[in-house]
Amino acid sequence: MCGIIGCVGRGERTLDTLVDGLERLEYRGYDSAGITLLGDDLGVRKTAGKIADLETLLDERPVDGHIGIGHTRWSTHGPPTDANAHPHQDCTGDVAVVHNGIIENYQSLRDDLSAEGHTFTSDTDTEVVPHLIERGLEMGDSPEAAFRNAIAQLDGSYAIAAIVGNEEAVFAARNDSPLVIGIGDGTASSDREYFLASDVPAFREYTDKVIYVEDGEFARLDSELAVTDSDDQPVDKEVHSIEWDAEETGKSGYDHYMLKEIHEQPRALRQCLSGRVDELAGTVNLDGLSDRSPSSVQFVAMGTSYHAALYGTHLFQQAGIPAQAFHASEYATATPPTGDALVIGITQSGETADTLSALREARSRGAETIAVTNTVGSTADRECDETLLIRSGPEIGVAASKTFTGQLAALNLLALATVESARTRRGVVPELRELPGRVQSILDDSNAAEIAEEYHDSESFFFIGRRYQYPVALEGALKLKEISYEHAEGFSAGDLKHGPLALVDEDTPVFAMVTGDDEVARKTVGNIKEVEARDAPVVAVTDGRSDAALYADHVLEVPETIPRAAAVLTNVQLQLVAYHVANLLGRPIDKPRNLAKSVTVE
């Protein structure tokens, strides 16, 4: 987790650039924050709390400089205190370091450095880095050599940026944690400006030109940019263009990013489908991915992405391909993939440590891997054999909304392009094409706010569904619990009476997803009757083709479509319910407590 930012060449706008960048990175962690600026000397300001608290500190104790680094933290080692906030410094105060990730061998490094007389002031793993750099400088290393030598001693995952001595440069390195460099046009006072960050939104308003730093590479940003490998040889880096605008990372008049992102789903779906489906021909083209015909599929993912993985298993199984979904953190116990098995990692960030580690495990077992991700240049994108981009655009709210929808759409494309029949494609493609408009109609007409008003102070919330609606039930519960802090559980509808029904009473609204009018719908209506008989209020999320509404206290309507597309629609209604419940309870919807957008530790 954590967000890091750095910039050079911004002159007197350096401080504002860092603070703005941290605000845009706050979704990565927000329990403490800090910055360092190099001016006449090295000024460090840091504090527990949010970026707003850092701004208050900067008003009280201003700092000046023209080169800087900053950090917003999500604690792993040590509680969120002023002392544990980054940047961390050495004994002399001449070195400042910010870090995202975990240094696994920090304890032995710290013991050695302490024995040599170095004094530590925090509980963090990061603090060993400035002291290692200090040791190098004492031994006569140049600032750059001291930085490189310090990095060479670290085990673990890191994106690190440092200012060393009075050297007018920012040094950076990465292993297993994201780091991207922005190349700006320069200002009146400098020919070139460079930015460094964990993620592009931190500096997107200044440039659309980026390079992605790879594991093992070092970057030096001063009046020029130099990227070198671990042998100090120059690396010729490709410059990429970012295709989305800075405004896309703003709230555009919505009260919360999450609400904005829920409303962006029609566009996100269009982007995902764009150029990939041909309705007339009934074909799906995913370039290099289309010619796969896997004998089996294993999905690895966490959280919301795991729910998308469960949905993906139904798609492939329906096509006769054995498919399993694993929490990536449990993948070690999976039967090894064999033959033409595909291992598909679903991760919107592309940086989830558990998912990356499962994908590496799969590769080491000889499997071909595919990343289904929203993040170009992410570790998953770069490490997997192939990538299927979901193209949802930046998602800032910590709770995944439009990226889950994007994942479901992308998985449909993947199944259609690889294993499903031409007949299926002809039936499904037009329904996918209609999805953006159908989602829009839900956004325009939903009564989710009224349902939230009625039930927001309930004891507990249950969600039930079958087949494609089972992952939606799990996702509906996860969304509600993470942003409202209320207890919520999702169940396969059939499992309810095997235990959880004991919890159902008049204070437990049950949301039941029932679409179509087939055997599956009829069975779920049977489950609705079971909870209704226990006096539980029932909210049917339905297209009205079954009897669900007859037994429900309230209805959230969705347009008619095929079962796999209906899951996208019912989920949108549940997103809105979760949002409105959380809003009525006054929760910090975009930044729920204890959570971070990108979970880069296992």
Task: With beta carbons less than 8 A apart as the criterion, state whether 251 and 257 touch.
Answer: yes
- Per CB under 6 A, the list member of 26, 361, 482, 547 interacting with ligand F6R is 482
Q: How far is the CB of 498 from ligand F6R (least distance, A)?
A: 26
Which of 21, 71, 62 minimizes the C-alpha distance to 39?
62
Quick one: 177 or 305, whose CB is closer to ligand F6R?
A: 305
Q: How far is the CB of 535 from ligand F6R (least distance, A)?
A: 31
Quick one: 194 or 461, whose CB is closer to ligand F6R?
A: 461
- Per CB under 6 A, the list member of 36, 75, 355, 418 interacting with ligand F6R is 355
Question: Is residue 349 close enough to count as binding ligand F6R by CB under 6 A?
Answer: yes
Question: Is residue 337 close enough to count as binding ligand F6R by CB under 6 A?
Answer: no
Question: Is residue 379 close enough to count as binding ligand F6R by CB under 6 A?
Answer: no
Question: Is residue 352 close enough to count as binding ligand F6R by CB under 6 A?
Answer: yes
Task: With beta carbons less than 8 A apart as the criterion, state whether 350 and 598 touch.
Answer: no
Question: Is residue 303 close enough to count as binding ligand F6R by CB under 6 A?
Answer: yes
How many chain residues touch ligand F6R (CB under 6 A)? 14
Contact string (CB under 6 A) for ligand F6R, positions 122-161, x = contact = ----------------------------------------
- Per CB under 6 A, the list member of 400, 442, 501, 565 interacting with ligand F6R is 400
Point out the catalytic residue in the list 2, 7, 272, 384: 2
Q: How far is CA 51 from CA 54, 65, 278, 324, in A?
A: 5, 19, 47, 42
Helices (H), 319-375: 353-364
Q: How far is the CB of 199 from ligand F6R (least distance, A)?
A: 12
Q: How far is CA 438 from CA 171, 410, 443, in A?
A: 49, 17, 9
Question: Is residue 409 close enough to count as binding ligand F6R by CB under 6 A?
Answer: no
Task: With beta carbons less than 8 A apart as the criterion, state whether 341 and 295 touch.
Answer: yes
- Per CB under 6 A, the list member of 347, 379, 546, 575 interacting with ligand F6R is 347
Question: Is residue 392 close enough to count as binding ligand F6R by CB under 6 A?
Answer: no
> What are the two backbone dihedrals, phi and then psi, of residue 157, each rounded to the nearest 5 degrees?
-110, 140
Helices (H), 277-421: 303-318, 353-364, 379-383, 402-418
Task: With beta carbons less than 8 A apart as the criterion, state whether 56 and 233 touch.
Answer: no
Question: Is residue 262 close enough to count as binding ligand F6R by CB under 6 A?
Answer: no
529 is catalytic: no
Question: Is residue 378 close enough to count as binding ligand F6R by CB under 6 A?
Answer: no
Beta strands in 116-272 (DSSP E): 156-164, 170-175, 180-184, 193-197, 209-212, 218-221, 225-228, 240-241
Instruction: Round to the nearest angstrom and report the end-to-end CA distance of the chain.
Output: 11
Rounded distance between C-alpha atoms, residue 170 and residue 487, angstroms: 46
Question: Is residue 399 close enough to count as binding ligand F6R by CB under 6 A?
Answer: yes
Task: With beta carbons less than 8 A apart as the criterion, state whether 37 and 67 touch.
Answer: yes
Q: How far is the CB of 197 from ligand F6R (least distance, A)?
A: 17
Quick one: 344 or 496, whose CB is closer to ligand F6R?
A: 344
Q: How far is the CB of 37 from ligand F6R (least distance, A)?
A: 32
The residue range among 55-63, 223-231, 347-355, 442-450 that interacts with ligand F6R, by the rule CB under 6 A, is 347-355
Task: With beta carbons less than 8 A apart as the criterion, state whether 480 and 577 touch.
Answer: yes
- Per CB under 6 A, the list member of 271, 348, 527, 573 interacting with ligand F6R is 348
Question: Is residue 305 close enough to count as binding ligand F6R by CB under 6 A?
Answer: yes
Q: How far is the CB of 341 from ligand F6R (least distance, A)?
A: 21
Q: What is the separation of C-alpha 18 from the centre of its chain, rounded to a whole number of angstroms?
A: 22
Rounded distance between C-alpha atoms, residue 521 and residue 546, angstroms: 7
2 is catalytic: yes
**Exposed / middle / buried, residue 219 (Cβ in 10 Å: 0-12, 13-18, 19+):** buried
Residues with Cβ within 8 Å of 550's Cβ and at least 6 positions away in sequence, in order, are: none
Q: Which residues bind ligand F6R (CB under 6 A)?
A: 302-305, 347-349, 352, 355, 399-400, 478, 482, 599
User: Active-site residue numbers?
Assistant: 2, 597
